[in-house]
Every structure is written in C-alpha cells, then in structure tokens.
Amino acid sequence: MSAPWDGAAIAGIGQTEFSQNSGRSERRLAVEAITTALADAGLTANDVDGLVTFDFDSNDPASVADTMGLRQLTFFSETMYGGGGGCSTIMQAAMAVASGSAEVVVAYRAMNERSGVRFGQARVSKRAIPAVIALSAPYGLHTAAQGFSLNIARYFHEHDVTNADVAPLAVAQRAYAATNPAARFFGRPITIDDHQSSRWIVEPVLRLYDCCLESDGAVAIVVTSADRARHLRNAPVAVRAAAQGLAGQQMRNWYRPSIGSVEETRVAGDRLWAASGLGPSDMQVAILYDHFLPMVLMQLEALGFCKPGEAKHFIADGNRTVAINTNGGLTGEAYLHGMNWITEAVRQLRGTAANQVRDVEHVLVTSGPGVPTSALVLARSERQT
C-alpha cells in the first residue's frame, strides 16, 4: 500500500457554545464558528477557497459563501448520510487540497437541533407512507434509536452482552464531561446505578443515558496543505488517513448477513489501517461516535481494538489501553454530529484538551455507525518557526 498520506493538515478549529437554545439562526452559528476557526488558524475569510458541510444541514456552501462575502470558491461539497458524514468533510477537504483544487477549505456544521427540528422525534404523515419507508414506518420504526435497536439487540444476543455491560462506559464518558467546561454535563458525573435506573428508550438495549444529546451549536475546521499549516499559528494536525465505509443500507441495516456488528465501521477502519500502516495499538486516543453507547462497543470490535464480543471487558474499569471519548462524547459534551469529535481529536494532538492524555501521537476518529460512515487517523505534527 502507498505511504501514509502527508498532503493535508488541520490548521484551525472553532466552535460556538453548545446549548439547548442558541437563540440565533443556524446561519449565524455557522459564520461564528467559521470565523473563530479562521482566527485560530491565523487566516481570514479572504484566504478561503473551499467549503464543505454535511447534508441535513440547512446552510449549504453557497448560502454561507454569500453570507460571508466569499466570492472565489474552487471547491464546495456536501457529504452524505447525516451523522456518518463528519469525517467525510475532512476527507473531502484534504482531497481537494492534495489535488490542488483548493488551498484553504473550511468544513462546518451548524444546527439548532435542540431548539429547532429534533431528530429524536417521530414525524410521519398519517395519510400516505412513502414507498422507501413502507417496510419500516408502519411498524413504528421511525427514529435512529428504534431502527438501530434491532442491530444492537442482535449484537447483545450473539455475544451475551446486556445493557448493564455498557454502564462503565457511560460512567467514564460522563466523568470526562464532568471535567470539560464545554460539556453539557460539566460538573455532573453519574454512577453505574444512575445509568441502570435511567428509563428505557428501547428495551432491553437503550436507556436514556445511552443516547446522545440534542444540541444547538456550530463547529468549523480549517484544512490546508501540510506545508502551509506548518507556518500558521498552531501545531498542525496531519490527516494521516481518511476513509468512508458503506456496507449496507442507512438506518435500516437489517438485511445483510451480519447485523449485530457495525460492518460499515469495519470497512472504513480496514482501509485506514492499510493506508496508514498503523493499527489500533498506535492510537493513544479513540474518539468513537456515541449516538448510542452500545454502538461504541460494536465499533471497538469492528476497528480491531478487541475481538468480537470482548468489548464489554475492554471498557470495564481499569482495563483500557486507549482513552475513549475524552470530551464526554455526544452523550456528554454535545451533539454536533461528530464535528465536536474532530475538534477534540485536534485538541488532544495539540496538547490543549480539557482532559488531556499524555504523549498523544495518533488519534482515531469515527463518524456515525449504522449509516454509511467515515473515519480518520489524525497525527501530531510540528510547526516550522
């Protein structure tokens, strides 16, 4: 396989506060995050020639460009499949830079998902169910939690896992959130009992404390060439490898041979390891998408951190060789569909995280499993003064 990629790096990150009601428009949130990220990189709007965001975002690149007065973009894109698309934004930005299609690409995500349209609510037209969901909606399979529950239930059955086995992970992530000032649950850790007595969302797989937050806020990330990033304000964070992963449907992944595993994450991970020449044991931190905590266990197995069925032991107290979800996660910090994932990875590699791990060289970041997904290996790199 080819040598680890060294074409692009993350030069700046920015975000708004995360809240339950931002009190301002998503477009304004996007611009705030983008402006902050550019300032962090030591760049300005005039330097930007690329924009990339996810679908399920109301601010397409043209609206943002027009709002900010950006008039010369040579790369613009939206990545697919909602929460599976976060790492894809960095992948596409890095590809644009490496191919010479753009020099400074900003990836962004802005949503009032708590005060605005909420993904966790089931909305169905009662008159005519469209053909594409005719085999799920009539059965009350509307939301991600309802749909993924069938995958998680199968995983639990195949490997003798119960919801109680997930509790140590919830406690560990809320402990990280408790010491992260940006987190919704700053100052509010939980115990195993708190987790196990939280109410069922879908029994016997998902309790309230297994499910991610709904948040208002925005995140932006500036990607440029590795060479340029070395001469900007921060230690660059190199995009060492990037991949997407598609191994079936989105959200209704019930028909492929194995549904009790996150095959899409495995596909992406296999490509990351092959492309980078690295493996799970080279990662000091793993930021694994936790829209639903049981799927963190499934990702640990799919990525090769442990064998199938072993994740419940891997996450048990004191049994971890890699720090997981050090900002508190989507369940503890905020839910910006994984973009606040990538910023945490950047902070860990720069040495500026609230829960800083020692000697971080490589961080793995994943986007949403259960849908076509994406993942990154980010690496520490040096500035040139």
Residues that bind another protein (CB under 8 A): 120-122, 124, 126-131, 134-143, 146, 149-154, 157, 199-205, 252, 254-255, 259-260
* In the complex, minimum distance from the CB of residue 194 to another protein, in angstroms, rounded to a whole number: 18
CB-neighbour burial class of residue 131 (10 A; exposed 0-12, middle 13-18, buried 19+): exposed
CA nearest neighbour of 176 among 367, 340, 377: 340
- In one-letter notation, the amino acid at residue 188 is R
Give least dist CB 130 to another protein, A: 6
Q: How far is the CB of 352 from another protein (least distance, A)?
A: 38
End-to-end, the C-alpha distance of the chain in Å comes to 33
Tell whether the torsion through CA atoms of 180, 185, 188 and 191 is positive or negative.
negative
Q: Which residues contact 345 (CB under 8 A, 6 or more apart)?
A: 237, 285, 287, 363, 365, 376, 378
Active site residue 255: no
| C-beta of 119 vs 273, nearer to another protein | 119
Integer Cα distance of 367 and 268 in angstroms: 10
Q: Which residue has the tokens 């404390």?
A: 209
Cβ of residue 252: shortest distance to another protein, in angstroms? Answer: 7
Centre a 10 Å sphere on the Cβ of residue 308 and count the other Cβ atoms it contains: 15
CA 194/CA 171 separation, integer angstroms: 9
Q: Which helix or strand (DSSP H or E) is residue 41 part of?
A: helix 26-41
Is-cis flag, bond preceding 204, omega within 30? Answer: yes
Are β-strands 362-366 and 373-380 bridged in parallel, bridged antiparallel, or unpaired?
A: antiparallel
Helix or strand holding residue 112 (H, E): strand 104-112
Could you count the other beta carbons within 10 Å of the beta carbon of residue 30? 28
Q: Which is nearer to another protein, 1 or 132 (CB)?
A: 132
CB of 374 to another protein, least distance (A): 23
Nearer to another protein, 117 or 124 (CB): 124
Residue in 217, 221, 220 with CA at minimum distance from that of residue 16? 217
The Cβ of residue 191 has, within 10 Å, a number of other Cβ atoms equal to 12
Beta-carbon count within 10 A of 95 CB: 20
CB of 211 to another protein, least distance (A): 10
The CB-of-60 to another protein minimum distance in angstroms stands at 28
* 289 annotated active-site: yes
Active site residues: 289, 335
